[in-house]
Structure 1
């Protein structure tokens, strides 16, 4: 795509990167065929190709309006288009650059601004989020139905974690909302890994991966959270930690991006590269181990499983099919899921900032997941899990909890 950045745009820190990405797009439109918002809305500007044109106009100095911002906001950042693109366009990187520039040039309405700021200050702070969630549950009877559905019921407490006792040691990113929304997920992961001779430690000073801030346009705040994680993990990495295991695919996708987003940061580039190289989704860790030591007990249930593969797992981390393959190795029967490449509508904070589109995507996804009449639906990301469960239909859990329950046998 022929591009001529404005004088002002050329001063941006990532101007050369943006120009290179724009030039790599050949306008083919294959991306629209797999874009969830384009399929729902049928508007060229609500597909990747149209959004690329909008960002091109922004960076070439054309006027920017609330309409430009709206179409960029509607993007799920699911990266399905990147999986489809024959030219290898790094759309998500261009979107981050474009959104940040539009955010700088277009003032949001006060209500919108307060919502986004509230999400930025609540979601990444695990203790504050837990307190707010507890209060929300207490006040649920007083809330409208639409709000009540977004507040999940209190889950069972996580079981005790095994002590650190093995020579093989890994770190774990606990996440900011998973400990409150699904406390047994991380605990189950540590217990299954313990069966494989791997001890897992969480570093208390490591917190939110930074994705919430970064994807809401507050890039520097997101980078600062990432820097704190790198600093927190570094002593353990130097001491020989084998990997950083991440049960939530959304967090894992962003940590694996540290190397790219810090490549021009002289103080953090090398450390970020090391951290990204050590980051492993939980399925990568288990999939590399001899699973013959993990034998499901006879009579364990359920057997017939539908797996929702999060976009951050299949499109960002390129691990589509990995969980399904692992579950088959353990003896589970996996149902076919139509349009498994499409987003469920969770997409970080998208289900809150774009509730109507998110609801339509969620219901479509649940229709596809339930079509094979599975005993259980599992996923690999807490955001997807919570969003799908907000429909009040068949409950969704993290796949590692299913695996552990099968290993323990019937209750």
Structure 2
């Protein structure tokens, strides 16, 4: 697609990048068929092709309106379209630019919306604030409005299991604990530490590390987002450069997809390009690491004929990181019966802060996904749903089938 940049954007980094990304799109429309919001709304401008057209208009000088911003806001950034696109359009990166332009050009958001977005940016990225808040929320959960009750999952911690390193250490890996995960679903990190410890892997979490930057970035606070990313690079890079560690382990695919993009975000930064690239290359989803250690894990696992699950692959893993099949392969190799539900390639509606900012659309996608998960559970006689991202796990909590991280299942099966 040919794009004639407006004079104001011709010499800007964002303008040139957008022009490069737009050039790959041939407007074939294959992406529309797999777009969750287009399937719900049936509006061309609420699908990837239409949104790309809106971004092209801005690139060529047409001023964005509130409707432009609304159509871009409605995108989940699930990146399913990238998996479908035959031309390899990097839609996610293009959307980030388009959203920034739309926010800058369109009228200011309503005050209430501005406050909510500020609270999300400042509250969810600060564990010192979020963790006490979630504890208070759990205490008052029975009297909270239904919409808030659904956002507060039960906290499950296996306190009878030690997380100390008992197996001799063979290898060290960096580990991102996450912003909301330790407060909302702490057992995910505890289970991760226990399983890795059994394999002789010690996880290191530098205290200086903050949020991965994804949340602020997708809310168009790029300046502070890049500051968070640089802070993390400064904390991790010396350990990687020295050879002390080779892998940065991530057990939340939403964080992983962001960190794997550090190299892209800082490719033109003289001071950070090489460092950021090293971090992105070192970043591995936990499924990538453990898929290579099935033979080591197998003797440590208690075989169970009742272990049968429905796996919900997070969009950030299957579309963002383009990692498919590893979790299924790993669990199957450990004797767990794994199945997918209908439309497993579609988003559950969580998408970071989307479930709060676009509650109506998010709820529709959630109900659709839960229906398919329950149908698959009955068909395959599965007793649980497992996933690999804290957002998906929280979104899909329900009264019929437990939903947890698949690493918790492996932890439950440890001898």
Q: What TM-score do you get using the length of structure 2 for normalisation? A: 0.94
For residues 153 and 126 of structure 1, the distance between their equivalents in structure 2, rounded to whole angstroms, comes to 18
For residues 369 and 293 of structure 1, the distance between their equivalents in structure 2, rounded to whole angstroms, comes to 28
1:399 aligns with 2:406: yes
For residues 12 and 142 of structure 1, the distance between their equivalents in structure 2, rounded to whole angstroms, comes to 51
The Cα shift of 1:201 comes to 1.3
For residues 278 and 169 of structure 2, the distance between their equivalents in structure 1, rounded to whole angstroms, comes to 23
The Cα shift of 1:157 comes to 5.8
Q: Report 1:215-364 matches (<5 A).
A: 215-240=218-243, 241-295=245-299, 297-298=301-302, 300=304, 302-364=306-368
Map of 1:109 onto structure 2: 110
State which of 385, 395, 400 in structure 2 corresponds to 1:387. Answer: 395
Map of 1:372 onto structure 2: 376
The Cα shift of 1:233 comes to 1.1
Q: Which consecutive unaligned segments of at least 5 residues does structure 2 have?
A: none
Contact 1:337–1:372 at 8 Å: present in 2 too?
yes
Map of 1:80 onto structure 2: 80
Is 281-290 or 321-330 further displaced after alignment?
Answer: 281-290
The Cα shift of 1:366 comes to 1.3
Is 235-244 or 349-358 further displaced after alignment?
Answer: 235-244
The Cα shift of 1:296 comes to 6.0
DSSP-derived class of the 2:174 partner? strand
Q: Report 1:183-222 matches (<5 A).
A: 183-222=186-225
For residues 101 and 122 of structure 1, the distance between their equivalents in structure 2, rounded to whole angstroms, comes to 25
The Cα shift of 1:303 comes to 1.2
The Cα shift of 1:139 comes to 2.8
Contact 1:345–1:362 at 8 Å: present in 2 too?
yes
For residues 224 and 396 of structure 2, the distance between their equivalents in structure 1, rounded to whole angstroms, comes to 29
The Cα shift of 1:122 comes to 0.6
Contact 2:199–2:296 at 8 Å: present in 1 too?
no
DSSP-derived class of the 1:161 partner? coil
For residues 281 and 227 of structure 2, the distance between their equivalents in structure 1, rounded to whole angstroms, comes to 20
Q: Aligned-residue CA RMSD in angstroms?
A: 1.6
Q: What TM-score do you get using the length of structure 1 for normalisation? A: 0.95
For residues 330 and 2 of structure 1, the distance between their equivalents in structure 2, rounded to whole angstroms, comes to 50
1:19 aligns with 2:19: yes
Q: Deviations over 1:331-358 (max 9, x none)?
A: 1111231111000000011001001111
For residues 190 and 297 of structure 1, the distance between their equivalents in structure 2, rounded to whole angstroms, comes to 16
Contact 1:195–1:294 at 8 Å: present in 2 too?
no
Q: Deviations over 1:84-112 (max 9, x none)?
A: 00001110111000101111112111111
The Cα shift of 1:297 comes to 4.9
Is 148-157 or 265-274 further displaced after alignment?
Answer: 148-157
The Cα shift of 1:10 comes to 2.1
Contact 1:377–1:395 at 8 Å: present in 2 too?
yes
The Cα shift of 1:135 comes to 2.0
1:54 aligns with 2:54: yes
DSSP-derived class of the 2:61 partner? coil
The number of residue pairs the alignment matches comes to 407
1:97 aligns with 2:97: yes
Q: Report 1:62-73 matches (<5 A).
A: 62-73=62-73
1:151 aligns with 2:159: no
Is 106-115 or 65-74 further displaced after alignment?
Answer: 106-115
Q: Which consecutive unaligned segments of at least 5 residues does structure 1 have?
A: none
For residues 61 and 111 of structure 2, the distance between their equivalents in structure 1, rounded to whole angstroms, comes to 26
> Structure 1's 336 and 149: CA in aligned 2 closer, same or farther, altered over 3 A?
closer
For residues 74 and 361 of structure 1, the distance between their equivalents in structure 2, rounded to whole angstroms, comes to 13
For residues 387 and 321 of structure 1, the distance between their equivalents in structure 2, rounded to whole angstroms, comes to 22
Map of 2:165 onto structure 1: 163
The Cα shift of 1:160 comes to 3.6
Is 13-22 or 66-75 further displaced after alignment?
Answer: 13-22
Contact 2:127–2:179 at 8 Å: present in 1 too?
yes
Map of 1:182 onto structure 2: 185
